[in-house]
């Protein structure tokens, strides 16, 4: 998507911070009219104001992606604000860590609710609107953990795997209507979610180096991803440059999963 292309309109969930905020900024910079969705209304407002101050056409649409009523209202409001939605980016996500046999029911259910059910609800609401127009593109942010087991991340990995396969099945069903559904699978990305897992600054080095104790490879490129790295991959998959790509997972992890 460049300034010479039709910039279109987009809904971006999780746009209050992290990868979602970076996606909203990158799309807005390309002229896309963005409806920014997050359940943290204050954090969302702050991010939207920053992007708008830089010239982006963006509106805050506070909503909880786990609530069907909120989701339907957000999808409808986005179209009232900007017209028919061309793009959807499912970037809302949470992380609950802990040994698989010690996770609480709440940790499990909340993780699945946001990371998987939220993708289902928002995709259903938006794609239903795209179907009569026979055009549209969707990207769901998953994780390289969706296909690689990680110690203490069973709920997160399971939720991302569910979101990945839902998105691919959706993509198969709507391909004949001209709607593309793809995924971006980040590895370790410098966001509050990742930094919050570190006990101290040594967490950065151990993330890059990997850990034999937890069977985790390091990052061959020797650096964490910047949220913009993920956002640029999303922008590509939404653009006409990816017009013949659907049901594809683009891994952006610096080689951490060794190309598998």
Which one of 87, 156, 166, 215 is the catalytic residue? Answer: 156
Return the number of other C-beta atoms located less than 10 Å from residue 81's C-beta.
Answer: 15
Residues whose CB falls within 8 Å of the CB of residue 223, separated by 6 or more in sequence, listed in order? 208, 254
Q: According to DSSP H, which parts of 148-239 are helical?
A: 154-174, 192-195, 202-209, 227-238
Structure tokens at 201: 């600054």
Structure tokens at 231: 């956002």
Taking the CA atoms of residue 120, residue 189, residue 45 and residue 15 in that order, the dihedral angle to the nearest 10 degrees is -20
Helix (H) or strand (E) holding 25: helix 18-29
Query: Angle between the 18-29 and 227-238 helix axes, to the nearest 10 degrees?
Result: 50
CA angle 25/26/27 to nearest 5° reads 95
Q: Is 166 a catalytic residue?
A: no
Residue 188, SS3?
coil
The distance of Cα 193 from the centroid of its chain, to the nearest Å, equals: 13
Strands 179-186, 87-90: pairing is: unpaired
The catalytic site residues sit at: 156
């Amino acid at each position: 998507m460049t300034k010479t292309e039709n910039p279109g309109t987009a809904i971006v969930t999780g746009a209050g911070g992290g990868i979602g905020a970076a996606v909203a900024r990158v799309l807005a910079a390309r002229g896309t009219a963005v409806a920014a969705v997050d359940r943290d209304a204050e954090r969302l407002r702050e991010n939207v104001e920053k992007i708008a101050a830089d010239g982006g056409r963006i509106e805050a649409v506070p909503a909880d992606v786990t609530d069907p009523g909120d989701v339907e209202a957000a999808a409808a409001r986005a179209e009232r604000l900007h017209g028919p939605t061309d793009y959807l980016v499912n970037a809302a996500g949470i992380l609950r860590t802990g040994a698989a046999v010690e996770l609480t029911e709440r940790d499990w259910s909340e993780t699945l609710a946001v990371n998987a059910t939220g993708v289902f609800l928002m995709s259903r609401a938006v794609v239903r609107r795209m179907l009569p127009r026979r055009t549209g593109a969707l990207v769901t942010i998953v994780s390289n953990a969706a296909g690689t087991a990680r110690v203490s991340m069973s709920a997160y990995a399971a939720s991302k795997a569910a979101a990945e396969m839902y998105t691919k099945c959706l993509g198969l069903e709507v391909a004949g209507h001209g709607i593309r559904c793809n995924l971006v699978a980040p590895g370790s990305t410098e966001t509050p979610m990742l930094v919050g897992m570190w006990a101290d600054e040594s967490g950065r080095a151990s993330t890059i180096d990997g850990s034999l104790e937890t069977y985790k490879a390091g990052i061959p490129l020797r650096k964490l991803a910047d949220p913009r790295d993920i956002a640029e991959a999303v922008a590509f998959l939404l653009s006409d440059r990816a017009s013949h790509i659907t049901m594809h997972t683009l891994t952006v992890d610096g080689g951490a999963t060794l190309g598998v």
